[in-house]
Structure 1
Amino acid sequence: MRTRPLRLQKGDTIGIIAPSSPPNIENLNRSLAFLEQLGLNVKMGKHVEKINGYLAGTDDERLEDLHDMLTDPNVKGIICAGGGFGAARYADRIDFQLMSEQPKILWGYSDITYLHTTIGQFANVVTFHGPMLASDVGKDTFHELSARMFGQLFEPIELHYTEDISPLTTISRGVAQGELVGGNLSLLVSALGSKYEIDTRGQLLFIEDVSEEPYKVDSMLNQLRLSGKLHDAVGFVVGDFAKAEPKNQKSTLTLTEVLKHYLGDLGKPVVSGFKIGHCEPHFAVPLGVEARLDGDSKTLTILPGVK
């Protein structure tokens, strides 16, 4: 069982980092009012505004900001400004002992999947897959439900996802229980064959992605199949796959057909349609905590991520 970080209190300080690509600074600044409404103070990473091509500063600078937030005793949690690309470039240099000795909240998604997986497995700490500051909070499209999801950081809340939130589709019936792990499908696949690949043994695997056509999702799910990751999981939580429509192909399989091909005959519950991922609203979830997926009633129950 992974260690749950301490809950936030009003007056706590949150560290903001840009661990991947350069965030939209205007949106980031707009998001600070939301954190203020939550009663939080902010410590901005020294290199958040750096630009190094498609990266938010050099690998050393982005890693320095992460380590700085982990070592600062006044920082109680870390919220990512945005995703993009680049977290994997320094994954082998993260000091996981810093996180395991003083577990802190880490919140983000998309490219942050690499941090979720590595910190979860090497520091054994629960992390949070949720909307980011510049990418989501600072935009006019930020949804009320997305905002409410930050409440799980202030008190241990058991989360319940039902069709009251969004329509769900059962691809395979049944009930399974295990730790919820996963995130962005592209990132999960990119780590296969390395020491940082995801461990799905006895776990509920959550996947989501954006702008990936069905044939690309097909390829990635096949990689997970060949690597044994689908076999090892006990069930599948399929999040949002935004902009998955084929662009130029006249003849194609649908995303649902692809999901059914790889997940439908495993004899494990599979439910799709969860608004978790590159979407609004974005239902934030803790990763590494016990969860229960019921393909018959189309419900997902997740234990609290903080203590």
Structure 2
Amino acid sequence: MRIKPRRLKKGDTVGVISPSSPPNLENLKKALPFLEQLGLKVKMGKSVEAKNGHLAGTDDERLADLHAMFEDPEISGIICAGGGYGSARLAESIDFQMIKENPKIFWGYSDITFLHSAIGQYSELVTFHGPMLASDVGKEEFHERSARMFGQLFGPFELHYSEEISPLTALSAGIAQGELVGGNLSLLRSAIGTKFELDVKGKILLIEDIDEEPYQVDELLNHLRMARKFDEVAGIAIGDFKNSEPKKKERSLTLDQVFDDYFSELKVPVVKGFKIGHCEPHFSVPLGVEARLDADAKTLTILPGVE
């Protein structure tokens, strides 16, 4: 069983960090009142506004922010400002034992997937796959349902996803129960062959991505297939694949055809259509908790992520 972080309460302070690329500072500024409306105080990481090419500061600066927020007893949760690229560059230098000894809410997605996997495996901490401040919360299209998903940080309640939220399609029938893991498909693939390769045995794998054409999704899934990841899973929940239309439709399979190729004959439940990923609304989920994927009823039920 993974460690569940303590729930937030009004008056708590959350830390904001940028472990990947520089966030849009205008959007970040617009997002901060949302946290204040939740009754939270905000402490900004030292490198949030730093720029080092495509990175939000040097690796040492970004790592120092991550460590400082987990070590600071006044910080109850950590929310990432945005994604992009760069979190994987920190992984080998993270003090996972320190994080394990200071468990707290850690929230983000996209490039942050690498940190979810690493912290989950080596700190045994439940983390949260959810919208980020500059990338999502600070934008005009930020959805009311996305905002409500932050409520799961203030009390332990079960999440239930059904077709009342979005149309779902079962690619392979059955019911599976297991730990929910995963996130961004590109980042999951990038960890294969490293010590941070995701263990999916007996687990429900969540995948999502953005800006990948069908042939690119095909290549990513084929890598996971050859790494025997689909032989080990209990089930697969397919989230949102934004901007996945082929540039040359006459020379491409559709994304649905690609998914059918990999999953229609799988002997475990596979369901697609979850609004999890680079989408609005964005259904936020804890990673590392027990979940139940029912392809027959087309539902996903997830146990609470906080104590």
TM-score (normalizing by structure 1): 0.99
SS at match of 2:251: coil
The separation in 2 between residues aligned to 1:231 and 1:257, in whole angstroms, is: 20
Query: What's the counterpart of residue 61 of structure 2?
Result: 61
| 1:271 pairs with 2:266 | no
What is the CA distance between 1:249 and its match in structure 2? 4.7
Residue correspondence of structure 1 range 80-119 to structure 2 within 5 A: 80-119=80-119
Whichever residue aligns with residue 128 of structure 1, its letter is F
Query: What's the counterpart of residue 73 of structure 1?
Result: 73
SS at match of 1:300: strand
Query: What's the counterpart of residue 123 of structure 1?
Result: 123
Q: For residues 49-107 of structure 1, give each alpha carbon's deviation from its aligned partner in whole angstroms, at most 9, with x where no partner exists.
A: 00111100000000000000011000010000000000001100000111111111000
Query: What's the counterpart of residue 148 of structure 1?
Result: 148
Using the TM superposition, name which of 243-252 and 143-152 deviates more: 243-252
SS at match of 2:146: helix
Whichever residue aligns with residue 191 of structure 2, its letter is A
Query: What's the counterpart of residue 247 of structure 1?
Result: 247
List alignment gaps of at least 5 residues for structure 1: none
| 1:203 pairs with 2:203 | yes
Query: What's the counterpart of residue 219 of structure 2?
Result: 219
| 1:296 pairs with 2:293 | no
List alignment gaps of at least 5 residues for structure 2: none
The separation in 2 between residues aligned to 1:42 and 1:298, in whole angstroms, is: 38
The separation in 2 between residues aligned to 1:277 and 1:76, in whole angstroms, is: 24
The separation in 2 between residues aligned to 1:123 and 1:260, in whole angstroms, is: 35
What is the CA distance between 1:263 and its match in structure 2? 1.5
The separation in 2 between residues aligned to 1:52 and 1:211, in whole angstroms, is: 24
Using the TM superposition, name which of 188-197 and 254-263 deviates more: 254-263
Residue correspondence of structure 1 range 168-179 to structure 2 within 5 A: 168-179=168-179
The separation in 2 between residues aligned to 1:275 and 1:11, in whole angstroms, is: 30
What is the CA distance between 1:260 and its match in structure 2? 1.4
Q: For residues 200-255 of structure 1, give each alpha carbon's deviation from its aligned partner in whole angstroms, at most 9, with x where no partner exists.
A: 01000000000101111111111101111111111000000011000135221111
The separation in 2 between residues aligned to 1:139 and 1:251, in whole angstroms, is: 35
SS at match of 2:267: coil
What is the CA distance between 1:157 and its match in structure 2? 1.0
Whichever residue aligns with residue 13 of structure 1, its letter is T
Query: What's the counterpart of residue 9 of structure 2?
Result: 9
The separation in 1 between residues aligned to 2:163 and 2:251, in whole angstroms, is: 32
Whichever residue aligns with residue 67 of structure 1, its letter is H
The separation in 1 between residues aligned to 2:90 and 2:256, in whole angstroms, is: 35
What is the CA distance between 1:9 and its match in structure 2? 0.6
The separation in 1 between residues aligned to 2:230 and 2:99, in whole angstroms, is: 29
Whichever residue aligns with residue 185 of structure 1, its letter is L
Equivalent pairs, count: 307
The separation in 1 between residues aligned to 2:38 and 2:113, in whole angstroms, is: 25
CA RMSD of aligned residues (A): 0.6
Whichever residue aligns with residue 75 of structure 1, its letter is I
SS at match of 2:35: helix
| Divergent runs of 4+, >6 A | none
Q: For residues 166-209 of structure 1, give each alpha carbon's deviation from its aligned partner in whole angstroms, at most 9, with x where no partner exists.
A: 01111111100000000000000011000001000100000000
SS at match of 2:250: coil
Using the TM superposition, name which of 245-254 and 62-71 deviates more: 245-254
The separation in 2 between residues aligned to 1:300 and 1:197, in whole angstroms, is: 25
